[in-house]
Amino acid sequence: MTPRTNGIVFLAAQLRDQAYAHVTSELKRLGLVDLAPSHGAILITLYREKALSLKDLSVRINKKKSSTTELVDKLIRLGYVEKTTSTEDQRVKLVRLTPKSLAHKDDFKVLSENVNGRVYKGFSEDEQQQFTYLLSKALKNY
C-alpha cells in the first residue's frame, strides 16, 4: 500500500494531538497538574540554557513573543520561573528557573525521553534522523 502524501498535515496534527494528550496525562501522573505541555517546552529549554530573554525564549520554543509572555507569566505565578535583570544589559529581563522547577528537572528529562521514544518506536536510527529532517524541512515552508 502506498502512503497518501496529501494527508501529511492531518497526520502531523494527529501526532501533535496524541502527543499533547500523552504529555498532559504524564504531567498529571507526576503531580504537576498546574502545568500544560506548552509550559514544558519552556522549562526544558531553560534546563538547557539556564536563562534567556523573552525574545530568545520565544525563538527557541517557536512561539510568538506575546504567547511566550503569557506562558512565562503563568509560570511565574506558579513559582516555576522568575524574571531577573541581565548583568550585561540592565534593560534586558531574563527568565530563569526557580528551585521549584529545578526539583522537577529529572521528571521532565524522563518525560521528554518517554515522548520521543514513543514517537520513534520501531524506527531505525537512520529513519529517526530522516523523519526529523523531513519534518523540519516541511516546517520551513511556513
Is residue 94 included in any domain, yes or no?
Answer: yes
Beta bridge partners of 51: 96
Is residue 30 included in any domain, yes or no?
Answer: yes
Is residue 130 included in any domain, yes or no?
Answer: no
Is residue 142 included in any domain, yes or no?
Answer: no
Is residue 57 included in any domain, yes or no?
Answer: yes
Which CATH number does the domain housing residue 28 bear?
1.10.10.10
Helices (H) and strands (E) in the chain, counts: 7, 3
- In the chain, the amino acid numbered 142 is Y
Q: How many domains does the chain have?
A: 1
Distance CA 139, CA 133 (A): 10
Domain span at residue 97 reads 16-119
Phi, psi of 117, rounded to the nearest 5 degrees? -60, -40
Enter the pTM of the model: 0.81
Is residue 3 included in any domain, yes or no?
Answer: no
Q: For the chain, how far is it from start to end, CA to CA, in angstroms?
A: 29
Q: pLDDT of 63-106, one tens digit each?
A: 999 999 999 999 999 999 999 998 888 888 999 999 999 999 99
Neighbouring CB atoms inside 10 A of 21's CB total: 11
Residue 142 near residue 19 (C-beta atoms within 8 A): no
Q: pLDDT of 51-68, one tens digit each?
A: 999 999 999 998 999 999
